[in-house]
Amino acid sequence: MEIIGLTGGIASGKSTVSEQFAQHGWAIVDADAIAHQLTAIGGKALPLIQEAFGVDYLQSDGSLNRRKLGRLVFANPALLETLNGIMQPLIRQRIAEKFDQAATAGQPYVVLDAPTLFEQGYQDDCDQVVVVSIDLGTQLQRLQQRDGFSLAEARQRVASQMPLKEKVARADWVIDNSGSWQATWLQVAWLIDHFSMI
Ligand SMILES: Nc1ncnc2c1ncn2[C@@H]1O[C@H](COP(=O)(O)OP(=O)(O)OP(=O)(O)O)[C@@H](O)[C@H]1O
Ligand SMILES: [Mg+2]
């Protein structure tokens, strides 16, 4: 089984690209979706987050107040580290389980969609790494539009990540998603053909 890592900046278009891989029938392991499940009610991470950050970050129904916790940790690197210390080992464990499941199911390709792929060292588990790149102006615009952030909030989220340039420099393959849907679709179609041939 070939493991293809997929990463990039926030709102650069990872989910858009992974959707195309999924439509081609490849298995997707989505690190963000795993994080979401872990922090949902009944998820393994929720009690640990409550212990570390207090009930102030839960809603009255016991679910996580994601926006409030996001605002806190993205403005405070030490607290982001605390949250990562809770989340990353649990995410790593789930990713390993999902890789095992895909291998058992006989999947020839599995795509690991992970925003912090390089930061967490997952490139060592991947046969190829694809980075979805975007120009900063378009990234900030799409981020504001999708998540309702102010320009300052969007800038803060981008600044809290490894610079996209650095990810591009470490990539085996780069998809430029600064243009139209069609332009990106063509690049991904080419990549799927290319991977299928090697
Ligand atoms: N080529 C495109 N043209 C116009 N809009 C796009 C294009 N690609 C993605 N978008 C939009 O930009 C936003 C971000 O895309 P997407 O969710 O795929 O990024 P992401 O990298 O997965 O984001 P995140 O880091 O939050 O997981 C979405 O609202 C999506 O609909
Ligand atoms: Mg995404």
Q: Whose CA is nearest to atom 29 of ligand 1?
A: 146
**Closest ligand by atom to 13 CA:** 1
For ligand 2, a single-atom ion, the residues with CB < 5 A are 14-15
Tokens 């016991």 sit on residue = 62
Q: Whose CA is nearest to atom 9 of ligand 1?
A: 13
Tell me the backbone φ, ψ of residue 81, rounded to 5 degrees. -65, -40
Residues with Cβ within 6 A of ligand 1? Answer: 8, 10-16, 32, 115, 142, 146, 177, 180-181, 184
How many A from CA of 188 to the centre of ligand 2? 16
Q: Which domains does the chain have, with CATH numbers?
A: 2-197 (3.40.50.300)
Pocket-testing residue among 16, 176, 178, ligand 1, by greatest number of atoms within 8 A of Cβ: 16
How many A from CA of 13 to the centre of ligand 2? 7
Other CB atoms within a 10 A radius of the CB of residue 118 amount to 18
Q: What is the pLDDT along the chain (198 residues), one digit of tens a residue?
A: 999 999 999 999 999 999 999 999 999 999 999 999 999 999 999 999 999 999 999 999 999 999 999 999 988 999 999 999 999 999 999 999 999 999 999 999 999 999 999 999 999 999 999 999 999 999 999 999 999 999 999 999 999 899 999 999 999 999 999 999 999 999 999 999 999 987
How many A from CA of 157 to the centre of ligand 2? 14
Tell me the backbone φ, ψ of residue 129, rounded to 5 degrees. -120, 125
How many A from CA of 6 to the centre of ligand 2? 10
Contacts of 69 (CB under 8 A, 6+ apart): 49, 53, 57, 83
- State residue 89's pLDDT score: 97
The two tokens of residue 79 are 């607290």
**Greatest CA span in the chain, whole angstroms?**
53
Instruction: Read off the pTM.
Output: 0.93
Tell me the backbone φ, ψ of residue 104, rounded to 5 degrees. -65, -35
- State residue 197's pLDDT score: 83
How many A from CA of 56 to the centre of ligand 1? 31
DSSP 42: T
